[in-house]
Amino acid sequence: MDNLASPTVYQSSYQPGGYSGGSSGYGAAPQGSQPELAGVGPRILAFLIDGLIPGGIALVGYILAAVFVVGGASTQSQGASAAGAGIGILIFFVFYGGALVFSLYNHIVLVVKNNGQTIGKKMMKVRIVKEDGTAITYLDAFLRNVIGYLISGAICDLGFIWALFDARKQGWHDKIFKTLVVAA
């Protein structure tokens, strides 16, 4: 293999959990074999897990903001009410910003660092690979997991539902950016 060539998923030096190959998809794959496609169920659960974490962060921010707004309003003082509302709005934006940053970190940075796995995908033992077998890059992760998810969700989530009926279990975000979700 040429040193300048992009390593394939099967030639990646990253071997999490001590996997050495075989049916897990890590290491060298037998000639002509394709990794096993992940089922839609584990993909949905991974997506939900990945949404619960930033959703929980946002929920805590919402509750804290509401406490400050209601607490300020209950004092019957215009100054305290304004201060409570201001602090509540600040807390709201800080926690929602934190949730957004965490979500982007999970869907872009961790996907590349964890060989195609977000936290949810790691828990459900599935991962993202490119159709040509090369490792996913930061640009690939951004395009698929941010832009692609926006496209797939734009029309009543039809792009996500598409994976239920597709032979290769690909949603629109997978088809557009040439990725597959496989068993890890």
Answer yes or no: is 17 within a domain: no
Q: Record the tokens describing residue 102, joined without a space.
A: 């965490």
Using 50, 70 and 90 to split pLDDT, how confident is the model at 35? confident
Range 151-162 average pLDDT: 94
Using 50, 70 and 90 to split pLDDT, how confident is the model at 32? low
CA angle 92, 98, 102 (to 5 degrees): 150
Answer yes or no: is 2 within a domain: no
What are 80-133's pLDDT values in tens digits? 889 999 999 999 999 999 999 999 999 999 999 999 999 999 999 999 999 987
Answer yes or no: is 104 within a domain: yes
Answer yes or no: is 6 within a domain: no
pLDDT value at residue 133: 79
In this structure, the number of other CB atoms found within 10 A of the CB of residue 51 comes to: 13
- The SS3 assignment for 183 reads strand
In this structure, the number of other CB atoms found within 10 A of the CB of residue 151 comes to: 17
Range 128-147 average pLDDT: 93
d(CA 137, CA 115): 10
**What is the total count of domains within the chain?**
1
Structural domain including 104 reads: 39-183
Contact 120, 50 (CB under 8 A): yes
End-to-end CA distance of the chain: 24
pLDDT value at residue 28: 43
d(CA 28, CA 178): 21
Whether pLDDT at 9 is above 70? no
Answer yes or no: is 176 within a domain: yes
What are 40-85's pLDDT values in tens digits? 899 999 999 999 999 999 999 999 999 999 998 888 889 988 999 9
Answer yes or no: is 91 within a domain: yes
pLDDT value at residue 5: 52
- pTM of the entire structure? 0.76
Q: Record the tokens describing residue 136, joined without a space.
A: 């996913």
Answer yes or no: is 20 within a domain: no
Answer yes or no: is 11 within a domain: no
